Chain A
Amino acid sequence: MPQVFSAKSNVLARATFLIAGLMLLVIILAGMYMTPYTHRTGVALDQPTPFSHKHHAKELGIDCRYCHTGAEEAPYAGIPATEVCMTCHSQIWTNSPLLLPVQESYLKNIPLRWNKVNKVPDFVYFDHSIHIDRGVSCFTCHGDVTEMNLTFKTNAFEMLYCLDCHRNPEEFLRPTDEVFNANYETPPNQEDLGRQLMEKHAIDTKQIEDCWVCHR
């Protein structure tokens, strides 16, 4: 009887088995790698006008709260109303083309439409004010915005990301008066400091790890 398969087929046959196994592994790894947890950060989105946090917050030293007024009392930090921009820009750079959209918005009473850079899903209830109040700095989650010419998100707000901090806040907490300080240096004894702050603010990881803290 003649051979059904050529000599090469032996190698082939075994190769197929190996490849199948490898593929499985690759798929799993790829799946893990492609989770948003590691992705879509550091990408600046187009905006109606190329607003530079670096210029305003760093070079001019404007405080976060001047524009993001809600941060301290409300769930939403808030995006400044056009009139806030116009408080200065009605005097300076009045004829800069970059500011046309802003002026137009102000005159025609049509809001600017910014693209959302940092967002969490609808079923996540995030409250800026309480984080600020407990000593979580803006820069802890949003990265050093004062170095951004165009704004991008530095962290993907995935559940694990939030859990990192909700599980061990001591690594991130700041004294409340340092929350808005862009030039804050994390002290070498952060761990101890963090624990003191947790003590002070009665922060209980047992409590902030509950599902209902974010999902309702």
Chain B
Amino acid sequence: METRQNVNRADETKGASEMPRPKRISIGELRERLKSGDPGVWRSLEEIADDDEVKAFLDQEFPRHTAPWMGEMDRRQFLRLAGASLALAGLAGCRIRPIKEIVPYVKAPENLVPGIPKFYATALTLGGYATGVLVESHEGRPTKLDGNPEHPASLGSTNALTQAMILELYDPDRSQSLTRDGKYVTPAEFEADVKARLRRQLATGGEGIRFLLPSGSSPTIERLFARLQERYPQLRRHYWDAVHRDSVYEGARLSFGRPLEPVYRFDRADVVVSLDADFLFEGPGSVRYARDFADRRRVRKDAPTMNRLYVVESTMSVTGGMADHRLSMRPSEVEAFAEALRSAIRDGVSGEGGQNAFLSAMAQDLLANPGASIVIAGENQPAAVHALVNEINALLDNHGSTVQWIEPVVNPESRLESIRELTADLQDGKVELLFVFGGNPAYDAPVDLQFDEAIRRAGLSVRLGLNEDETSAHCRYHIPLAHELESWGDARAFDGTASIQQPLIEPLFNGRSVVTFLAMLLGDERHEREIVKETWQLAGLGEGAFEDVWSATLAKGVVPNSAFAPQEVSLNPFPAVASRASSGLEVRFKPDPTVYDGRFTNSPWLQELPKPFLQATWDNVMMVSPRTAEGLGIEIDLGAVVVGGAAPIAELTVGGRKVTGAVWIVPGHPDDTVTVTLGYGREKAGRVGTGTGFNACAVRSHEASWFAPASLALTGEKTQLALTQHHYSMENRGVVHEMEVGKYGHKEHHAAHEEMNLYPDREYDGNKWAMVIDTTLCTGCNACVAACVAENNIATVGKDEVIRSREMHWIRIDRYFDDLDNPRYAHVPVPCMQCENAPCEVVCPVAATAHDNEGLNMMVYNRCVGTRYCSNNCPYKVRRFNFYKYTLYPGTWDEETPVTKLLRNPNVTVRGRGVMEKCTYCVQRISAARRRAKKEDRPIRDGEVVTACQAACPTQAIVFGNWNDPNARVAAEKAEPHHYVLMEELNARPRTGYLPKFRNPNPAMKEAR
């Protein structure tokens, strides 16, 4: 993938900003126009639709957005029609006419060759922490996100959430216009109103002005606030994130006297102990951490060794699934455990048996690896645990080596305090002017504060948000927020590294960025680009003429050497804590693995992404352990041949507040604990998200932000979960080969079958594409699935269809476990195996699926008649069928909201009703690389073709390449002694192979897993 040095970015955007914007008009005029039908306001769809020009474009282009058509379209026209795309709601009935038209440019933009995608570097933030991405753009349509190899938080990988942010951009439910009390107003009116009130605040120094922000790390926004502060010294900023890290900073305060940010160096750690921390999956830097961690776990000929992971946790987390030794306990017990561990490390190990045995063996292991171990505590554990852990790391000399401390990347003040104060002030009527940027506090603020009601007490509340959500409903004004892919900005990564965000497209729905908005408050009329640029002019980007460095930085996506320097820390020991462990059932809150804190609830991709360990979609559930379930009288037979999705509904009571939701059994989950995930049960999420799952925030109070005593009782009703996997045992079919790393090289039970074939073998002398997946490294995070969906225009089908087992994912992550109470998990990503003796091909009556000369199992959609015979005959069941016209389905809904068509990858056919589809090894990427190579009269280089799943995988568990190339990585992995293929005895000869799941148990604790 090449990153275009993007010098003319500025001009393009200037050009773009010249495009006709709606004139700001008064309500009266608006009414007139709505009558007269003059297209002046984005919102007036039918008016737009009636505009012949626009209609022409829409007519012309939309029906063919799904195909490689975009050849001859002008960027600006494109942007205009994109902006008006909702208008298509009225025009969806476009039909392909016998004669198609070509619409060439009027003035061709330089440096844009139709049909050749360009890649731009930018960054996207989650919880304020940036992840660098490369955005693939087709004629001005961003279509795919991939990690930016230059960026420390990514190194080229992404997680599922980042993959889905491209869909967030095109979400047809994003707010389209400026409203006051739900009615449209012109920006002019709004600005007049706000500025008037601001002026009134000048007198009081702006003590009535409050901002409520989610965590952010943007230097520019800091700068703008500083300027505001000059004008209104009394102005206050409050912060709120549902997924906050209070305890991390508080822990640091306790240990070092000041809030600091930890950065872990898993690449240096031989022993890792996690106390309720899901560091491989959640939190800042998790993608990078996963990579570093995996690099120490990659068992190969040259270095058949790996690190060891102990996990002590109060739920079943992705990190826990990777553990070599795992101990589950109720959240409140972790503190005591940490205390015990500290004393063990400090005063030497003692005691044996049960938990102590685990603890002492672990402690010994840690002591044996000073400076090469990491003990890490979860955000959900109280500050005390963090303080204890900090001390343990100090005792192990880990500070500075494996654990580094830097200045906080985001504002470290306590979120819980901050929002509590704001609510109080609101209730006391102290707040004249409240600005709520992003986030969704009305939905996820601590329920006992009743923040949503409090908002109404503000003199004037202004909401800047992507969607008109619960919070917007309580605010006076709602202003559409520009997506990060639509706006200029900057942000810092988990280690402080800064990136500059550049827009990939003009705001689709005429939203404005935080920067523009603040500038507006300051009366600063400049384009946001200029403001961001200024920030860095002041900060300095490095040697050389600024313009050059600037564009170089944009192209690279990272501001060189901007990472925060590690701080010297001196630790003040933490006093012994009396165990505050409560008895009885506890509830454990957790950001949802797919919809996070609710910001992705309206994302069909993520809704349909199976949740790790649950394999459930479109719902959140109350997770309990088998024993607890037994106690509650829950009957779910996890051993059944086909586990149905019928889940009992239970009522969860926390501090007198109640919420009801589906209960599901998760082996390995601690007893007497119920884990609930945030982000569901939303009332104003949008067409996709509204009404899915139950709202855990309804019982999440100020004191009980992460866990609390609770009670659970069955209501007697049942509900249907949409599961994607219905059987959890391997049935001794050797799907995963498990072995201890010590046994590396010893050929065990399974001896490679002798290669026999009834037919003369087919020769593959050219490129011989193959894939190897390392099951040791797969964490089951589903990033590959999301990436595949994004790359291959895969439809989402909605809950009902998933229940009918019709999900369309080309790659799925199978999850197996061996025991209910103390399970060992194994994750197996299963894409198409690209069998050389493909059983599917022989039975296709129309030769719609056959082999190409490189041994790929081709699937030709336009030839397929849909007998589904191939799927029946596929031993791996990786083929997917369009039972309905899924382009009408959630998130794909092209016919209703063509804006989602802009998201399409023009190099992949959008499959119609009644055709079979499957993984193609991203043949479109292979083909592109082949053509490039041919033009340069050279063979395709190793690593030149990267499949979407491979690129996304945080642990780089997937390797793809040309098996015939002796120097290719894939060839090396295929040569690994323990390489195996699924169901080898079928002699289908899969090209996709696997490496066994190696574990590294502590010899001292065989009995405790």
A interface list, Cβ under 8 A from B: 45, 69-70, 73-76, 78-84, 105-106, 109-116, 119, 121-123, 125, 127, 129-130, 133-134, 201-202, 204, 206-207, 210-213, 215-216
Q: A82-B104, A212-B858 are in contact. Are A206 and B934 (CB under 8 A)?
A: no
CA distance A105 to B103 in the complex (A): 11
Chain B residue nearest to A208 in the complex (CB): B853
Query: CB within 8 A of A74: which of B99, B100, B115, B852?
Result: B115
B536 at interface by CB-CB < 8 Å = no
Query: CB within 8 A of A121: which of B56, B114, B766, B862?
Result: B862
Chain A residue nearest to B107 in the complex (CB): A83
Chain A residues in 8 Å Cβ range of B67: 122-123
B863 at interface by CB-CB < 8 Å = yes
Q: How far is the CB of B757 from chain A (nearest CB, A)?
A: 21
A212 and B923: CB pair below 8 A? yes
Contact digits for B27-71, partner A, Cβ 8 Å, 1 yes 0 no: 000000000000000000000000001001000100010111101
**B residues 91-143 touching A (CB-CB < 8 Å):** 99-108, 113-116
CA distance A106 to B100 in the complex (A): 22
B interface list, Cβ under 8 A from A: 53, 56, 60, 64, 66-69, 71-72, 74, 77, 99-108, 113-116, 766, 850, 852-854, 856, 858, 860-863, 907-909, 920, 923-924, 927, 931, 934-935, 937
Chain B residues in 8 Å Cβ range of A83: 105-108
CA distance A114 to B103 in the complex (A): 7
Extra 20 A-B pairs, beta carbons < 8 Å, given A81-B107, A125-B68, A133-B935: A76-B114, A79-B72, A82-B104, A82-B107, A106-B106, A114-B103, A115-B101, A116-B99, A122-B64, A123-B861, A125-B907, A129-B935, A130-B931, A201-B934, A202-B937, A207-B852, A210-B858, A212-B920, A215-B909, A216-B920
B100 and A116: CB pair below 8 A? yes
Q: A74-B114, A115-B99, A116-B99 are in contact. Are A215 and B104 (CB under 8 A)?
A: no
Q: How far is the CB of B98 from chain A (nearest CB, A)?
A: 10
> Of residues A70, A113, A119, A212, which shows the largest number of chain B Cβ atoms within 10 Å of its Cβ?
A212
Chain A residues in 8 Å Cβ range of B104: 78-82, 111-112, 114
5 tightest Cβ-Cβ pairs between the two chains A and B: A122-B67, A76-B71, A81-B105, A210-B852, A75-B115
6 CB-based A-B contacts, threshold 8 Å: A76-B71, A79-B102, A113-B56, A125-B907, A207-B853, A215-B909
CA distance A202 to B766 in the complex (A): 11
Chain A residues in 8 Å Cβ range of B856: 212
Q: A111-B106, A113-B101, A211-B852 are in contact. Are A75 and B71 (CB under 8 A)?
A: yes
Query: CB within 8 A of B907: which of A70, A129, A216?
Result: A216
CA distance A163 to B854 in the complex (A): 19
Chain B residue nearest to A67 in the complex (CB): B104
CA distance A171 to B860 in the complex (A): 28
Chain B residues in 8 Å Cβ range of A74: 113-116
> Of residues B102, B116, B909, B935, which shows the largest number of chain A Cβ atoms within 10 Å of its Cβ?
B102
Q: A116-B102, A204-B766 are in contact. Are A73 and B113 (CB under 8 A)?
A: yes
CA distance A134 to B116 in the complex (A): 19
Q: A74-B116, A130-B935, A202-B934 are in contact. Are A216 and B924 (CB under 8 A)?
A: yes
A111 and B103: CB pair below 8 A? yes
Chain A interface SS verdict (over half) = loop
CA distance A8 to B853 in the complex (A): 64
Chain A residues in 8 Å Cβ range of B60: 113
Q: How far is the CB of B841 from chain A (nearest CB, A)?
A: 11
Chain B residues in 8 Å Cβ range of A106: 106
Query: CB within 8 A of B106: which of A105, A116, A119?
Result: A105
Chain A residue nearest to B106 in the complex (CB): A82
Chain B residues in 8 Å Cβ range of A110: 53, 106
Q: How far is the CB of B118 from chain A (nearest CB, A)?
A: 12
CA distance A166 to B850 in the complex (A): 18
CA distance A75 to B113 in the complex (A): 9
Chain B residue nearest to A134 in the complex (CB): B934
Query: CB within 8 A of A210: which of B56, B108, B853?
Result: B853
Q: A76-B72, A201-B934 are in contact. Are A113 and B103 (CB under 8 A)?
A: yes
Q: How far is the CB of B57 from chain A (nearest CB, A)?
A: 9
Q: How far is the CB of B871 from chain A (nearest CB, A)?
A: 19
CA distance A69 to B115 in the complex (A): 12
Chain A residues in 8 Å Cβ range of B920: 212, 216
Query: CB within 8 A of A70: which of B102, B113, B908?
Result: B113
Chain A residues in 8 Å Cβ range of B927: 125, 212-213, 216
Q: How far is the CB of B410 from chain A (nearest CB, A)?
A: 43
Q: A111-B106, A122-B68, A202-B937 are in contact. Are A129 and B931 (CB under 8 A)?
A: yes
Chain A residues in 8 Å Cβ range of B853: 204, 206-207, 210
Q: How far is the CB of A177 from chain B (nearest CB, A)?
A: 15
Chain A residues in 8 Å Cβ range of B116: 73-75
Q: How far is the CB of B832 from chain A (nearest CB, A)?
A: 13
Chain B residue nearest to A125 in the complex (CB): B68
Q: A74-B113, A202-B937, A210-B858 are in contact. Are A216 and B908 (CB under 8 A)?
A: yes
Q: How far is the CB of A130 from chain B (nearest CB, A)?
A: 5
Chain A residue nearest to B926 in the complex (CB): A212
Chain B residue nearest to A45 in the complex (CB): B99
Q: How far is the CB of A183 from chain B (nearest CB, A)?
A: 26
Chain B residues in 8 Å Cβ range of A105: 106
Q: A109-B106, A212-B858 are in contact. Are A122 and B909 (CB under 8 A)?
A: yes
Chain B residues in 8 Å Cβ range of A210: 852-854, 858
A75 and B860: CB pair below 8 A? no
Chain A residues in 8 Å Cβ range of B858: 210-212
CA distance A129 to B72 in the complex (A): 16
Q: How far is the CB of A111 from chain B (nearest CB, A)?
A: 5
Q: How far is the CB of B852 from chain A (nearest CB, A)?
A: 4
B107 and A211: CB pair below 8 A? no
Chain A residue nearest to B908 in the complex (CB): A216
Chain B residues in 8 Å Cβ range of A119: 100
CA distance A138 to B107 in the complex (A): 25
A122 and B69: CB pair below 8 A? yes
Chain A residue nearest to B862 in the complex (CB): A123
Q: How far is the CB of B749 from chain A (nearest CB, A)?
A: 39
A216 and B909: CB pair below 8 A? yes
B934 and A130: CB pair below 8 A? yes
Q: A115-B101, A123-B67, A125-B907 are in contact. Are A78 and B72 (CB under 8 A)?
A: yes
Chain B residues in 8 Å Cβ range of A84: 108
Q: How far is the CB of A81 from chain B (nearest CB, A)?
A: 4
> Of residues B101, B854, B863, which shows the largest number of chain A Cβ atoms within 10 Å of its Cβ?
B101
Q: How far is the CB of A160 from chain B (nearest CB, A)?
A: 14
CA distance A76 to B907 in the complex (A): 13
> Of residues A70, A114, A216, which shows the largest number of chain B Cβ atoms within 10 Å of its Cβ?
A216
CA distance A59 to B860 in the complex (A): 44
CA distance A202 to B265 in the complex (A): 48
> Of residues A116, A127, A201, A210, which shows the largest number of chain B Cβ atoms within 10 Å of its Cβ?
A210
